[in-house]
């Protein structure tokens, strides 16, 4: 464990936040399995996202909270099964060459009972469905659990992605529905590849041959498309500094691009593109360990997001830059409340301070706790060896 400038008291604090994160997530998880995005925040209350949920599940799975994560996956699986006919029809129409209207797609977020919400939202985002497939395979292989019980739900998610992957859709921040984003395509590809390679307990492939073949073909197409259309031109002085772009044809960076390296491996960790992408995120969006979403972000004035600090730290940890990873973990810990709750973002350094009040007036104080922040803290803490192997030691 490299704790360089971490004192025993700091370490105690970091460890106590591991326990609090598990406790906050467990306390707010719905009986039926959904992980609420934020139990109190006006605009998220009563809703669960596949994107947030998958990262929260990854944190809880690493913390040994097997029952909680199983329950989340059963919730997500049942919800998908209840939409199997809708998805089958979408795939038939896509295969027949029909242009699918956004209104016909699955929602981005759901009520805890699995129903669609009544409030209007920026629906049509595919990333969460890929993340769910990816996390389900991570979780079951980490804990030696069978995938077979989820087989039919997996097929629904796969079919949905096969029908929709190439369409522009809203990004991680629920913006720019007209664009195609590497951060969306990365989890779609990772999820499809994970289930295409998955086996049942009897050693046979989990998915039928046709789905496996189609999933692998889409994954290849995504890699080729991104290499061709989603790279920036690099700096004039150094064209080899080209990195992944926020969307196809853009020169901008977005902190969610770090996920295209770790965990989703759209670009090979350690490759020139991966390193240039992480450098661009750090250079343009990190200030003192906190990470902004993107330069033009005006949401609550464009603060620094705890979950993005963890995502960058996770990447540093995997690249062997442990001191950098610890710096991010400590920054997150320093922005938890005295009760150990973690907000979505903090206003220490705002990109566009003039916009903050407008959001405070519209939606009230920033989301806190945000369960995704806690999930990401667990992941980074685990990368740095702070999570013991068993759930007992956490209670
Ligand atoms: C973010 C999404 C997130 C949602 C719930 C939105 O403000 O843009 O990425 O999934 O909140 O946490």
Reply yes or no on whether the pLDDT at 161 is more than 90: yes
Told to judge if 279 belongs to the known catalytic residues of this protein, a careful annotator would answer no
Ligand 1 centroid to residue 2 C-alpha, Å: 32
218-259 per-position pLDDT tens digit = 999 999 999 999 999 987 777 778 999 999 999 999 999 999
Please work out whether the CB of residue 171 comes within 6 Å of at least one atom of ligand 1: no
Q: Determine the average pLDDT of the residues in 159-180.
A: 97
Please work out whether the CB of residue 259 comes within 6 Å of at least one atom of ligand 1: no
Which residue puts its alpha carbon closest to atom 1 of ligand 1? Answer: 173
pLDDT above 70 as % of the chain: 97
Question: Beta-carbon neighbour count of residue 306 at 10 Å?
Answer: 27
Told to judge if 127 belongs to the known catalytic residues of this protein, a careful annotator would answer no
Q: The domain that contains 247 carries what CATH number?
A: 1.50.10.10
394 confidence band (pLDDT: 50, 70, 90): low
Reply yes or no on whether the pLDDT at 292 is more than 80: yes
> What's the mean per-residue pLDDT of the chain?
95
Q: Give CA–CA dist 293/154, Å, rounded.
A: 30
Reply yes or no on whether the pLDDT at 391 is more than 80: no
Using CA atoms of 295, 296, 298, 300 in order, give the dihedral in degrees to the nearest 10. Answer: -10
Q: Give CA–CA dist 24/22, Å, rounded.
A: 6
pTM: 0.97
Ligand 1 centroid to residue 173 C-alpha, Å: 6
Please work out whether the CB of residue 52 comes within 6 Å of at least one atom of ligand 1: yes
DSSP letter string, 32-71: TS---S-SS-TTTTTEEEHHHHHHHHHHHHHTT-HHHHHH
pLDDT of res. 4: 57
Q: Determine the average pLDDT of the residues in 359-374.
A: 98
Half-sphere exposure of 275 (CA within 13 A, CB side): 8
Which residue puts its alpha carbon closest to atom 7 of ligand 1? Answer: 173
DSSP letter string, 190-214: HHHHHHHS-B-TTSSBSS-HHHHHH
pLDDT of res. 392: 52
pLDDT of res. 390: 52
Half-sphere exposure of 369 (CA within 13 A, CB side): 29
The total number of structural domains that make up the chain: 1
Please work out whether the CB of residue 173 comes within 6 Å of at least one atom of ligand 1: yes
205-216 per-position pLDDT tens digit = 999 999 999 999
Q: Range of 231's domain? A: 8-394
Instruction: Note whether 395 and 71 are within 8 A (CB).
Output: no
pLDDT of res. 128: 98
374 confidence band (pLDDT: 50, 70, 90): very high
Please work out whether the CB of residue 124 comes within 6 Å of at least one atom of ligand 1: no
Told to judge if 344 belongs to the known catalytic residues of this protein, a careful annotator would answer yes
pLDDT of res. 234: 80
Assigned domain for 2 exists: no
Please work out whether the CB of residue 35 comes within 6 Å of at least one atom of ligand 1: no
Please work out whether the CB of residue 374 comes within 6 Å of at least one atom of ligand 1: no
Ligand 1 atom closest to Cα of residue 299 = 7
Assigned domain for 1 exists: no
Helices (H) and strands (E) in the chain, counts: 13, 6
Q: Give CA–CA dist 294/71, Å, rounded.
A: 34
- Beta bridge partners, 346, equal 304
Reply yes or no on whether the pLDDT at 9 is more than 90: no
Ligand 1 atom closest to Cα of residue 47 = 5
Assigned domain for 276 exists: yes
The length of the chain is: 395
Ligand 1 centroid to residue 154 C-alpha, Å: 24
Q: Which of 344, 368, 382, 383 is catalytic?
A: 344
Burial string for 157-187 (b: 16+ CB within 10 Å, else e) reads bbbbbbbbbbebbbbbbbbbeebbbbbbbbb
Q: Determine the average pLDDT of the residues in 63-85.
A: 98
Q: Which of 171, 286, 297, 324 is catalytic?
A: 171
Please work out whether the CB of residue 160 comes within 6 Å of at least one atom of ligand 1: no
Which residue puts its alpha carbon closest to atom 8 of ligand 1? Answer: 173
Q: Give CA–CA dist 313/303, Å, rounded.
A: 18
pLDDT of res. 389: 66
pLDDT of res. 240: 77
Which residue puts its alpha carbon closest to atom 5 of ligand 1? Answer: 37
Q: Which of 70, 127, 138, 174 is catalytic?
A: 174
Assigned domain for 3 exists: no
């Amino acid at each position: 464990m490299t704790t360089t400038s971490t004192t025993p008291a700091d370490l105690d604090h970091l460890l106590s936040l591991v326990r609090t994160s598990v406790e906050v997530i467990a306390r707010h998880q719905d009986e039926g399995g959904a992980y609420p995005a934020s139990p109190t925040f006006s605009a998220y209350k009563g809703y669960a996202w596949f994107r947030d949920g998958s990262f929260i599940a990854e944190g809880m799975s690493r913390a040994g909270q097997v029952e909680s994560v199983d329950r989340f996956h059963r919730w997500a699986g049942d919800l998908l099964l209840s939409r199997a006919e809708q998805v089958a029809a979408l795939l038939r129409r896509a295969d027949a060459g029909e242009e699918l209207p956004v209104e016909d797609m699955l929602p981005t977020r759901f009520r805890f009972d699995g129903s669609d919400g009544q409030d209007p939202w920026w629906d049509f985002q595919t990333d969460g469905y890929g993340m769910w497939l990816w996390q389900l395979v991570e979780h079951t292989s980490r804990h030696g659990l069978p995938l077979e019980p989820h087989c039919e739900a997996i097929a629904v998610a796969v079919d949905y992605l096969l029908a929709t992957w190439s369409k522009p859709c809203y990004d991680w921040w629920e913006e720019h529905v007209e664009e195609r984003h590497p951060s969306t395509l990365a989890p779609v590809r990772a999820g499809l590849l994970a289930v295409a390679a998955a086996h049942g307990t009897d050693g046979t492939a989990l998915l039928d041959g046709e789905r496996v073949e189609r999933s692998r073909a889409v994954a290849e197409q995504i890699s080729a498309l991104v290499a061709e259309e989603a790279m920036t031109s690099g700096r004039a002085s150094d064209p080899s500094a080209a990195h992944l772009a926020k969307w196809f044809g853009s020169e901008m960076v977005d902190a969610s691009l770090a996920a295209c390296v770790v965990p989703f491996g759209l670009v090979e960790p350690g490759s020139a593109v991966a390193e240039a992408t992480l450098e661009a995120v750090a250079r343009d969006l990190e200030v003192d360990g906190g990470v902004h979403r993107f330069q033009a972000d005006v949401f609550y004035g464009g603060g620094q997001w705890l979950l993005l600090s963890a995502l960058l730290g996770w990447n540093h940890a995997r690249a062997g830059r442990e001191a950098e990873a610890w710096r991010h973990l400590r920054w997150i810990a320093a922005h938890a409340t005295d009760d150990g709750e973690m907000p979505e973002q903090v206003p220490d350094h705002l990109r566009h301070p003039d916009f903050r009040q407008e959001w405070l007036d519209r939606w009230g104080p920033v989301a806190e706790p945000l369960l995704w922040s806690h999930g990401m803290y667990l992941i980074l803490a685990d990368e740095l060896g702070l999570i013991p192997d068993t759930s007992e030691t956490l209670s």
